[in-house]
Structure 1
Amino acid sequence: MALSGSALEESARAMLAPGAYDFYAAGSGEELSRDEAADAWRSYRFLPRVLRDVSRVDTGIELLGERLSSPVLAAPTAFHAMAHPEGEVATAEGIRDAGQLMVLSSRATSPVEGVAAAAGPWWFQVYVLRDREITARQVRRAVAAGARALVLTVDAPYVATKPRVTRPLPLPRDAHALDVGVDTRTADWEQDPSIGPGTIDWLRAESGLPVLVKGVLRADDALACRDAGAAGIIVSNHGGRQLDRALPTAHALRPVVEALAGDLPVLVDGGIRTGTDVLTALALGADAVLIGRPVLWALAVEGRAGVRSLLDSYRTELAEAMALVGARSPGEIGFDLLAPWVPTPGTLVNARLPEY
């Protein structure tokens, strides 16, 4: 599969049921945050090093004990069975084939045991529900299946309105959504809007696993999560699906990295569409990035093979960009590679510039 970017999305749109495409593509409100995400990464410019030996470039990283082929992970996204009949199983196989890590959504449409059997290393994403016992049962089931970390989503105390989602979701009749024997139409299945920092420790105790916190945009919140026992921070605005006009992650990332000062791994998602976007995120201090919607588009177009091809393309593009800026490994990518520059009118930029 050679398609990428907007061409990949358009091919997927032609193959998906309209309700499925709208659900995957939707942002909240006016969709400003959704639409700004990719352009925010493009607002940065590089200042490459020269006369460096880049005859060999290695994109591999180690993250929470996992050796990965590149710093590009698959973000948690819901309801893969709307994109492909094998659902998250096909996604997991493609991610495994690419040597990467999958974050499995708690809104999956394939049984967790089947996904685990098809996956390489994987983490489990958690919404804490009003009925904590439902969450605890989901977590215990994921742990038993082999999850190696939990990802606690914290930016969705309520599900934001998405005006473009007007059709019923075309979910297959046998979709599971990680059922634990409860009626998902009840209020107990809703996210708990009262959670606080202590939830991190509760999940650690329930699971025995490290807990990363996803949905952080502020440095002070990142520090509070660190102090509460988080194993990592994921800078995210939920793909523009929660608070519209939230700051793009490309411009929220650096203050979080500086505040944590290397205490925890920092990951980022939102609008990352090319290897140069990945390079930008690493230069801003991210340890890795997560890709959401493009994985769904690749799954819809070509199933398992499409997911692998997509992740391979990110790795290939990143390797080329690293060579061209004079970095042989992710460890050689630093903030000094980002150049101060004068943006065009209306372009969002990070106010903190490199020091030389």
Structure 2
Amino acid sequence: MSLAYPATTDDWQRLAQRRLPRFYADYIDGGAGAERTLAANVQAFAALRLRQRVLVDVAQVSTRARLAGEDCALPLALAPVGLAGMAAARGEVQAARAAQAAGVPFTLSTVGICPLGEVASAVQAPFWFQLYMLRERGAVQALLQDAWASGCRTLVFTVDLPVTGLRWRDVRHGLADGGARAALIKAWQVLARPGWVRRVALGGKPLTFGNLAAQVPGARDLNAFRAWVDAQFDPSVTWQDIAWLRQQWKGRLLLKGILTAEDAQAAVDAGADGVVVSNHGGRQLDSAPATASVLPAIAQAVGSRTELLVDGGIRSGVDVFKALALGAHGVLIGRPWVWALAAGGEAGVARLLAHWQRELRTTMMLTGVRRTADINASHLERFS
């Protein structure tokens, strides 16, 4: 099959794999353990069936929605992805521009390549910022101040990372342990992708965690930054720390990594403005439930009192519709936009988002829905 004109997310993934060094492609594609949760995320959405309706006036259909107080062209935001700037030269900047043009929010990861200031100078629309609770609370405060000064008003705070999940693909490439053998493996894989070397490794320098340059001033490479980040993950964080964070951040606060109704309720009690139902894309706890399977219960528990977003396994505009039918107000997507970025840069991300909007609109028309706010469980066959 020709991929000259990629249409689906799978197309973008195949193109990305051809362009990226193997260790980085596996870093993006892979999950924890045997990757059961990674597969379950996709399968859970694929298993849902829609109720097609006919002879409904769908001449005027709108995919617009409101997320975190912002008007969006569709109920979708680009999720934070660490090291996304290695997919294309200054990759986060390219993705942010594509998101702005498409009318959806972009979320910059703390461990992205491009720093806050660089992204802010490249776009006019406000973007979101993602953060972890680091051991050095001064570093957290400094990052919050930088985010606010850069125009960010929505903070996506990741709560499911007291320790990094066991990702065997990274271990096989030596990313977890380092050393001379790992360096040779990566060097060989890099040399096998001379186009990536030219476009990204050389054309996209510097490849460092831009947001952490002030925190790790002596580090000159990604391995040094990664070692500092891994040491900063704090397993002692509790809900009391979220209360402290709520005092520090005066913008909107979304807690990402919620998988139970109890934790969703605790997030609301702690002052969060919204929760992201997420298992970290299957990258943390293998055999954790698929997000689509727990979303309805969480929506029933807190969906009427807080903003509810979901990620994990969403691969099309059809899946966006299904997520809304399960009770979400919107979705975050990670791997799909990075694949499109790697395969086609800013234009690739723009094309992906245009296709997803077209899919969502078509799905709405064939199910007899005119507004995204009207999508609900009655549009799923399993709830009929």
Q: Same fold (TM over 0.5)?
A: yes
The whole-number CA distance in structure 1 between the counterparts of 2:240 and 2:114 is: 30
Q: Which has the higher helix share?
A: 2
Classify the secondary structure of the residue corresponding to 1:95. Answer: helix
Q: How far apart are residue 127 of structure 1 and its match?
A: 0.5
Q: For this pair of structures, how many residues does the alignment match?
A: 342
Picking from 124, 127, 133, the partner of 1:122 is 127
**Does 2:99 match 1:95?**
yes
Picking from 316, 330, 337, the partner of 2:358 is 316
Whether contact under 8 Å (1:298, 1:310) holds in the other structure is: yes
Picking from 166, 169, 179, the partner of 1:164 is 169
**Does 2:281 match 1:239?**
yes
Classify the secondary structure of the residue corresponding to 1:155. Answer: coil
Classify the secondary structure of the residue corresponding to 1:164. Answer: helix
Classify the secondary structure of the residue corresponding to 2:42. Answer: helix
The whole-number CA distance in structure 1 between the counterparts of 2:33 and 2:139 is: 30
Query: For residues 84-124 of structure 1, what are the alpha-carbon distances to aligned partners after superposition, in whole Å with 9 as ceiling and x for unaligned?
Result: 01221111111111111011111110121111222333111
Picking from 262, 269, 277, the partner of 2:304 is 262
**Does 2:13 match 1:18?**
no
The whole-number CA distance in structure 1 between the counterparts of 2:119 and 2:97 is: 8
Gaps in structure 2 of 5+ consecutive residues: 176-185, 191-199, 217-224
After TM superposition, the score normalised by the length of structure 1 is 0.92
After TM superposition, the score normalised by the length of structure 2 is 0.85
The whole-number CA distance in structure 2 between the counterparts of 1:196 and 1:117 is: 35
Q: How far apart are residue 50 of structure 1 and its match?
A: 3.2
Picking from 253, 260, 271, the partner of 2:295 is 253
The whole-number CA distance in structure 1 between the counterparts of 2:242 and 2:57 is: 44
- Give the % identical residues: 38
Which residue matches 2:258?
216
What amino acid is aligned across from residue 66 of structure 2 in structure 1? E
The whole-number CA distance in structure 2 between the counterparts of 1:237 and 1:176 is: 26
Whether contact under 8 Å (2:78, 2:107) holds in the other structure is: yes
What amino acid is aligned across from residue 195 of structure 1 in structure 2? V
What amino acid is aligned across from residue 137 of structure 1 in structure 2? A
Greater mean deviation of Cα atoms: 241-250 or 37-46: 37-46
Which residue matches 1:343?
none
Q: 1:251 to 1:91 in 2, by over 3 A?
A: same
The whole-number CA distance in structure 2 between the counterparts of 1:62 and 1:301 is: 29
Greater mean deviation of Cα atoms: 37-46 or 238-247: 37-46
Query: For residues 217-257 of structure 1, what are the alpha-carbon distances to aligned partners after superposition, in whole Å with 9 as ceiling and x for unaligned?
Result: 10011001101101001000000100001100011100000
Q: How far apart are residue 52 of structure 1 and its match?
A: 2.0
Q: How far apart are residue 200 of structure 1 and its match?
A: 2.7
Query: For residues 264-305 of structure 1, what are the alpha-carbon distances to aligned partners after superposition, in whole Å with 9 as ceiling and x for unaligned?
Result: 010000010111111110111110011100111100111011
Q: What are the equivalent positions in structure 2 for 1:24-173 lying under 5 Å apart? A: 24-119=28-123, 120-165=125-170, 166-168=173-175, 172=201
Greater mean deviation of Cα atoms: 47-56 or 141-150: 47-56
The whole-number CA distance in structure 2 between the counterparts of 1:331 and 1:212 is: 20
Classify the secondary structure of the residue corresponding to 2:381. Answer: coil
Cα RMSD over matched residues? 1.7
The whole-number CA distance in structure 2 between the counterparts of 1:334 and 1:179 is: 42
What amino acid is aligned across from residue 215 of structure 2 in structure 1? V
Greater mean deviation of Cα atoms: 269-278 or 183-192: 183-192
The whole-number CA distance in structure 2 between the counterparts of 1:95 and 1:62 is: 15
What amino acid is aligned across from residue 351 of structure 2 in structure 1? S
What amino acid is aligned across from residue 289 of structure 2 in structure 1? L
Which residue matches 1:346?
none
Q: How far apart are residue 188 of structure 1 and its match?
A: 8.1
Gaps in structure 1 of 5+ consecutive residues: 341-352
Which residue matches 1:179?
212
Q: 1:131 to 1:188 in 2, by over 3 A?
A: farther
Q: 1:61 to 1:187 in 2, by over 3 A?
A: closer
